[in-house]
Amino acid sequence: MENPLLLMIPGPTPVPEPVLFASARQPISHRSQDFRDLMADITVHLKWLHQTQNEVLILASSGTGAMEAGIINFLSPGDRVLVGCNGKFGDRWTLVCEQFGLITERITAPWGKALDPKRFRQHLEADLDKQIKAVIVTHSETSTGVLNDLETISRHIKAHGQALSIIDAVTSLGICPVPVDEWGLDVVVSASQKGYRMPPGLGFVCVSPKAWQAYETARFPRFYFDLGKCRTDAATNTTPFTPPVNLFFALQMSLTLMKAEGLSAMFAHQQRLMQATRAALHALDLPLFVPDHYVASPAVTAIAPDQVAPETLRFKLQQQYGVVIAAGQDHMRGKLVRIGHLGYVCDRSIVTTIAAIEAALK
Ligand code: PLP
């Protein structure tokens, strides 16, 4: 199943063949013992991936569906939330919150820079009557390639005592450490087409006991994305609605492969790919959008090329070398290109991409 194009975008990522083959079989009944066995196995492995005892629920959705579920299950109209914004996905969280009538306050940083944890501390310390109900942080900002300091920010959220942490780990889970229990994260959202090394189609929401308490009093209407229903059914290894069972086969295989590799080996591999990419781009004199003094995301590297128009570079890579990289997003479209090196990407893919960029610059 050779792909004629080398997919080097920050998701969907290439998928290992055993994972593709696992899904290429006849569906099974989602009300059968076989499905319950499948789901039981997946559940154990999802907890392992999240480094948690909390429940991890599976949705038939993309990451944005999981974001929406992360809001509507734990909050109520008119609640105050604090959102970290330093890129497109922080902005998307704000949009979702505003769409549902939440009162949104923002801690911002320019695109390409990291959120300052101190500003979260100051903002939360000033909330003396504990009105802020949730703090939303995008761990790896895919639009820029910055990794925010989630460990420190989550410590400040815990010190507040009242607010839930709602974390976008869409391009960090499975890519760098997101130790949910150790950092005390309440709601953690992810999606299958990123660090899971799977096709798109599944969203995940990991929920702490504190978040389940908030669920009891949360007042947004919900039906398909009602995580309480998922939780009740997950207790007997089933789902409220027909799940994409073939993606569940793929998920089981992918988690099995990841478990055999081990979390630290996976994270070390991703880190090495990021470092190799950055070193090579430096050597080609291509300006990295995230400077060395910020922590770079191991998922994606953005460059703002000055020797060639970004869109020309992207076009040439695909047309001449079959290498697909991503464009900048929103106001950075036409100003950036982004190289994804997350998921099932190997050294050879990085070498090929860099060689293609070097040739395209000539
Ligand atoms: N959050 C982050 C950090 C992302 O990178 C993405 C997708 O790229 C999303 C949320 C939204 O996920 P989806 O496109 O699967 O809806």
Q: What pLDDT, in 10s, does the model give residues 39-52?
A: 999 999 999 999 99
> What is the phi/psi pair of residue 215, to 5°?
-55, -40
Amino acid at 242: T
For residue 347, CA distances in Å to 14, 73, 172, 323 come to 13, 41, 19, 14
Nearest to 166 by CA among 177, 176, 175, 157: 157
Mean pLDDT along residues 32-44: 98
Q: Is the per-residue pLDDT at 319 higher than 80?
A: yes
Instruction: Give residue 10 CA to ligand 1 midpoint distance, Å.
Output: 9
How far is Cα 217 from Cα 100, in angstroms, rounded to an integer? 16
Amino acid at 189: V
Mean pLDDT along residues 98-121: 98
How far is Cα 265 from Cα 133, in angstroms, rounded to an integer? 37
Q: Is the ipTM of this complex over 0.95?
A: yes
Instruction: Give residue 234 CA to ligand 1 midpoint distance, Å.
Output: 25
Instruction: Give residue 168 CA to ligand 1 midpoint distance, Å.
Output: 8
**Ramachandran area for residue 180 (φ above 0: left; ψ -120 to 50: alpha; else beta):** alpha
Annotated binding site for substrate: 338
Q: Which of 89, 94, 190, 202 to mutate to test ligand 1, by most ligand atoms within 8 A of the CB atom?
A: 89
Instruction: Give residue 20 CA to ligand 1 midpoint distance, Å.
Output: 22
Query: Residues lining ligand 1, CB < 6 A?
Result: 11, 62-64, 89, 138, 142, 168, 170-171, 191
Q: Is the per-residue pLDDT at 237 higher than 90?
A: yes
Q: From atom 2 of ligand 1, which residue's Cα is the shortest distance away?
A: 170
Instruction: Give residue 361 CA to ligand 1 midpoint distance, Å.
Output: 30
Q: Which of 142, 148, 247 to mutate to test ligand 1, by most ligand atoms within 8 A of the CB atom?
A: 142
Q: What is the mean pLDDT of the chain?
A: 97
Tokens (6 digits) for 14? 């290439």
pLDDT band, very low/low/confident/very high, at 2 (cuts 50, 70, 90):
low
pLDDT at 227: 98
CB 202 within 8 A of CB 19: no
Annotated binding site: 338
Which ligand 1 atom is at minimum distance from the Cα of 140? 3
Tokens (6 digits) for 237? 């290894």
Q: From atom 14 of ligand 1, which residue's Cα is the shortest distance away?
A: 63
pLDDT band, very low/low/confident/very high, at 4 (cuts 50, 70, 90):
confident
> What is the phi/psi pair of residue 55, to 5°?
-75, 140
Q: Is the per-residue pLDDT at 202 higher than 90?
A: yes
Instruction: Give residue 359 CA to ligand 1 midpoint distance, Å.
Output: 31
Task: Give the predicted TM-score (pTM) of the model.
Answer: 0.98
Q: From atom 13 of ligand 1, which residue's Cα is the shortest distance away?
A: 63
Which ligand 1 atom is at minimum distance from the Cα of 141? 3
Q: Is 76 exposed, middle or buried (0-12, 13-18, 19+ CB in 10 A)?
A: middle
